[in-house]
Chain A
Amino acid sequence: MIEVRDINKSFDGQQVLHDISINFEHGKTNLIIGKSGSGKTVLLKCIIGLLEVDSGDIFYSGQCFTTMGQKEKKQIRQKFGMLFQGAALFDSLSVEENVRFKLDMFTGMSNAEKKERVNFCLTRVDLEGKNKLYPSELSGGMKKRVAIARAIVLNPRYLFCDEPNSGLDPQTAILIDKLIKDITEEFNMTTIVNTHDLNSVMEIGEKVVFIHEGWKWWEGTNKEILETENNELNDFVFATRLVKQLKNIDEI
């Protein structure tokens, strides 16, 4: 479980996050949603420690991450898996080398064991046989799947995904969502997904947190989101004419 307590963050005197407290549940896909510029990426970067919070604490399974030394932070980060918005694959490495990177760096596995593990992860994301390709030879969806394979290679306890569906067509986006949900259950991880894709909310949002102008505005499940009376959340969810029409049809 990841606990976020009273987090505040500002840049050049402008406060971006205000007293955010959230419990991200273990074994579930937790979603952070909100408009562009609402502060959800800053929140995710604070949670994983890429940005330092001004005040507040973050706990990983009860261990306070914010007050940890660099050495302890490095150790806990080895339990992280991260899927970046642009996949962030290492350009100079092949698909296999990208996925194998953490095995090379942090384990004493033999080459045969590493190969087996890499192939398992690539098969898990339906990319078997693509070992020798380079990131420049992959489509957007394939890059995301390689990034997922790289994220799960060391059996992480925590998985973070920043806008996993950005730039993908709807069908591929659904595949990526399903993959994230499946591996969360399979590897029994705590997963946090940062998104503004409503399809993702409905497909995989076991717990949803809505961030509005840097405040935690609403918290619930994907079922509850359709029935909420929260005006800002309704404005966000039913922003398009199509969704509004669907809601009206549903109500009729």
Chain B
Amino acid sequence: MTLLHHIGRYTLLIKRAFARPEKHSIYYMRLIREMEVLGINSTGIVAIISFFMGAVITIQTAYNTESPLFPSYLIGLAARDSILLEFSSTIVALILAGKVGSNIASEIGTMRVTEQIDALEIMGVNSAGYLILPKIIALMILAPFLSILSMVIGIFGGWIAGTTVGVVTTPDYVYGIQYAFIPYYITYSLIKSVVFAFIITSVSSYHGYYTRGGALEVGRSSTMAVVHSSVVILLFNLILTQLLLS
């Protein structure tokens, strides 16, 4: 019953968020700002984590395939497929759920408990649309770029680590990342990143928007936003994988 209550309330909130904006120019300005806050400001963490994850995937693959039966170019192939299929979309989305999700929930939650959302409503502004819609669109626009950035840096990190440690040579690694390449994997990954961006922003906004109480509840909303966004991302990862790769 509680789950149904939350799903119903979430659906109504998102419907309100997608209502016609009062003034497009204001929403456009907010969109630009949110693209910077949610997307551009996340490039650093995405780049760092992608680099090290790519490095770890490459080294782990190398040590687990130490056999004459496995050609060393398979290290590059395994790193490429792991990064393209799962890491650059799902793991990056989980990282963003932590960074961006908590940011959104605490920002909107603080606005709720300090009556700033009430102030918007009293002015005749659709608070859900004004606060939530630009965040959703901003991250949905930038998530594919973050995903591509993650792919490039992850594969680069794998190459640096692999050649530095000496588990793979540059020609083998390059051959591996080109071997049996299926371009659709990139499309698949980008589609997932867009869906996950919607989940992160909308679920986190929901938790922030319905915060009740004070500072303690804002913190609780922020935590719940990260937990629920992560669970929903994993659920949709399963559904999308079945739908897009079957």
Known: A85-B115, A86-B115. A50 touches B124 (CB 8 A): no
Of A73-81, A119-127, A239-247, the segment with at least 4 beta carbons within 8 Å of chain B is A73-81
Contacts of A73 in B (CB 8 A): 124
Instruction: Say which residue of B22, B119, B125 sits within 8 Å of A84 (CB atoms).
Output: B119
Nearest Cβ on chain A to B214's Cβ, whole angstroms = 11
The number of residues on chain A lying at the interface, defined by a beta carbon within 8 Å of a beta carbon of chain B, is 23
Q: Type the 1/0 row for B148-192, where 1 means its CB is closer than 8 Å to any CB of A.
A: 000000000000000000000000000000000000000000000
Residues of chain A lying within 8 A (CB to CB) of residue B116? 88-91
B124 to chain A, nearest CB (A): 4
Known contacts: A84-B115, A88-B119. The answer to whether A77 contacts B124 by CB under 8 A is yes
User: Could you say which of A78, A85, A88 contacts B124, with CB atoms under 8 Å apart?
Assistant: A78
Task: Take A105-B26, A106-B22 as given contacts and tell me if A88 and B125 are in contact as well, using a CB distance cutoff of 8 Å.
Answer: no
The answer to whether A50 touches B114, judged by C-beta atoms less than 8 angstroms apart, is no
**Is A238 positioned at the interface, with any CB of B under 8 Å from its CB?**
no
CB of A102 within 8 Å of the partner chain: yes
Asked whether any CB of chain A lies closer than 8 Å to the CB of B122, the reply is yes
A163 to B114, CA, bound (A): 14
Assess whether B123 is in contact with A86, with CB atoms less than 8 Å apart.
Answer: no
Contact at A101–B122, with CB atoms within 8 Å? no
A16 contacts the other chain (CB 8 A): no
Interface residue B118 (Cβ < 8 Å from any Cβ of A):
yes
Tell me whether A102 and B123 are in contact (CB under 8 A). Answer: yes
Say yes or no for B23: interface residue by CB 8 A criterion. yes
Do A101 and B118 touch across chains, with their CB atoms under 8 A apart? no
Q: A211–B121 Cα gap in the complex (Å)?
A: 26
Whole-angstrom distance between the Cβ of A155 and the nearest chain B Cβ: 14
CB distance from A191 to the nearest CB of B (A): 14
The CA of A235 and the CA of B88, in the complex, are separated in Å by 68
Asked if B123 contacts A50 (CB within 8 A), the reply is no
The answer to the question of A48 belonging to the interface, with a C-beta cut-off of 8 Å to chain B, is yes
Shortest Cβ distance from residue A78 to the other chain B in the assembled complex, whole angstroms: 4
The smallest beta-carbon distance between A51 and chain B, in angstroms, is: 10
**Residue of A with least CB distance to B113:** A86
Docked-complex contact A106 and B124, CB < 8 angstroms: yes
Contacts of A105 in B (CB 8 A): 22-23, 26, 123, 125
Say whether B122 contacts A75, CB under 8 Å. no
Q: At the interface, yes or no: A176 with Cβ under 8 Å from chain B?
A: no
- How far apart are A180's CB and chain B's nearest CB, in angstroms? 17
List the B side residues contacting A77 at CB < 8 Å.
121-124
A82 at the interface (CB under 8 A from B): yes
Given known A104-B26, A105-B23, A105-B26, contact A80–B122 (CB-CB < 8 A): yes
A50 with B22: CB separation less than 8 A = no
Min CB distance, B63 to chain A, in Å? Answer: 49
B22 touches A48 (CB 8 A): no
Residues B58-111 near A (CB distance < 8 A): 110-111
Q: B22, B115, B126: which contacts A88 (Cβ < 8 A)?
A: B115
Give A48 to B118 CA distance when docked, in angstroms: 10
- Give CA–CA (A82, B124) in the complex, Å: 11
Q: What residues on A are CB-neighbors of B115 within 8 Å?
A: 84-86, 88
- Measured CB to CB, the closest approach of chain A to B210, in angstroms, equals 15
- Binary contact track A8-52/B, C-beta < 8 Å → 1, others 0: 000000000000000000000000000000000000000010100
Query: Is the pair B124, A84 in contact by a Cβ cutoff of 8 Å?
Result: no
Chain B residue nearest to A48 (CB atoms) is B122
Cβ contacts A to B, 9 pairs, < 8 Å: A48-B122, A73-B124, A77-B124, A80-B123, A88-B118, A91-B110, A102-B123, A104-B23, A105-B23
Nearest 7 Cβ contacts at the A-B interface:
A77-B124, A88-B115, A88-B119, A78-B124, A74-B124, A82-B122, A84-B115
